[in-house]
């Protein structure tokens, strides 16, 4: 099995991105895994601190590991938006492949200091683990919002990105380039889309020379996603679209089968609903090409 770092290198060489989808339960995990297997592309599942608390830090890891081993398939696990070192260490000890260490709300110098300490501690524990740092402000909450924050105020500065990467020695960087966590009601209705600053993506990549992750990608314009990948984004995070599809799939299954009480007869509808969204995003991120040779 190729390492996650190798998979990122191959994606960068091929000019494609790897999809990262947050999971909260077995429905979302099954949907992401099945969509990735159908398209035969590597995939990353993420569990934030809240998602890990619900499913169990070690239990998520055991589930993902069992899929990876049984199917010999490149599915990886990220401890998403981890706000403290003890929480990051807990995930590293549980076998997560990647930690997003997110103290981006702190002042820049303090963000550098804490992220650098986290990189040293985590690599000391697990030299193979990837650590991501985050700078800039893209808001919080993979939910449906009434209004967007002023994203222009929190955009990542390319020179600061370079300094952050050099001083912290992170493996990957999450910048703010017009992206935002969650979706506005108008995005859910399909009336508006998030727009990205592609020039800024290119400028940060040129300065920082590091793998970059686009967070908050739900509801983003398809052409902007293609442009951002071409300009230097290697991983794209989607959560709100997954949650929305989960809710819609579940709602429609319950309406269609008002007397059904068997979970494994109701939940496959939610799996299908999420799977459709994930498959469409994976196809876009991989540019319609297979990101690994078909082997199963």
Binding footprint of Zn ion on the chain (CB under 5 A): 215, 237
Among 204, 217, 225, 228, binds ligand G3H (CB under 6 A): 217
What minimum distance in Å lies between the beta carbon of 264 and ligand G3H?
28
Member of 172, 239, 273, 286 binding ligand G3H (CB under 6 A): 239
Beta carbon nearer to ligand G3H, 30 or 81: 81
Q: Which residue is nearest to Zn ion (CB)?
A: 215
Residue 182 binds what, of Zn ion, ligand G3H, none (CB under 5 to 8 Å, by partner type)?
A: ligand G3H
Contact 65/95 with Cβ under 8 angstroms? yes
Among 82, 156, 218, 273, binds ligand G3H (CB under 6 A): 218
d(CA 26, CA 103): 29
**CB of residue 237 vs Zn ion: minimum separation in angstroms?**
5
Examine residue 22 and tell whether it contacts ligand G3H (CB under 6 A): yes
Residue 213 beta carbon to ligand G3H: minimum distance, rounded to whole angstroms = 8
Binding site for ligand G3H (CB under 6 A): 22, 46, 80-81, 142, 181-182, 215-218, 237-240
């Amino acid at each position: 099995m190729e390492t996650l770092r190798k998979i990122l290198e191959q994606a960068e060489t091929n000019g494609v991105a790897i999809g990262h989808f947050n999971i909260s339960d077995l429905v979302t995990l099954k949907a992401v895994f099945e969509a990735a297997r159908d398209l035969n592309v590597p995939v990353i599942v993420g569990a934030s601190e809240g998602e890990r608390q619900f499913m169990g830090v070690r239990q998520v890891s055991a589930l993902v590991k069992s899929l990876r081993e049984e199917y010999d398939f490149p599915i990886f696990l990220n401890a998403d938006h981890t706000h403290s070192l003890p929480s990051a260490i807990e995930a590293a000890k549980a076998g997560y492949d990647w930690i997003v260490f997110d103290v981006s709300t702190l002042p820049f110098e303090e963000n550098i200091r804490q992220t650098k300490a986290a990189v040293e501690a985590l690599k000391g524990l697990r030299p193979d683990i990837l650590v991501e740092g985050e700078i800039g402000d893209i808001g919080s909450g993979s939910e449906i919002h009434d209004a967007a924050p002023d994203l222009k105020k929190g955009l990542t500065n390319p020179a600061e990105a370079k300094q952050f990467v050099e001083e912290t020695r992170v493996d990957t960087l999450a910048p703010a380039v017009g992206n935002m966590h969650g979706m506005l009601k108008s995005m859910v209705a399909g009336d508006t889309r998030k727009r990205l600053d592609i020039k800024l993506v290119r400028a940060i990549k040129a300065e920082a020379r590091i793998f970059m992750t686009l967070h908050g990608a739900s509801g983003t314009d398809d052409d902007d996603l293609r442009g951002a990948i071409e300009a230097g984004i290697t991983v794209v995070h989607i959560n709100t679209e997954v949650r929305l599809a989960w809710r819609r799939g579940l709602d429609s299954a319950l309406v269609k089968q008002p007397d059904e009480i068997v979970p494994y007869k109701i939940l496959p509808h939610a799996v299908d609903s999420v799977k459709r969204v994930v498959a469409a995003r994976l196809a876009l991120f991989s540019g319609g090409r297979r990101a690994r040779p078909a082997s199963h």
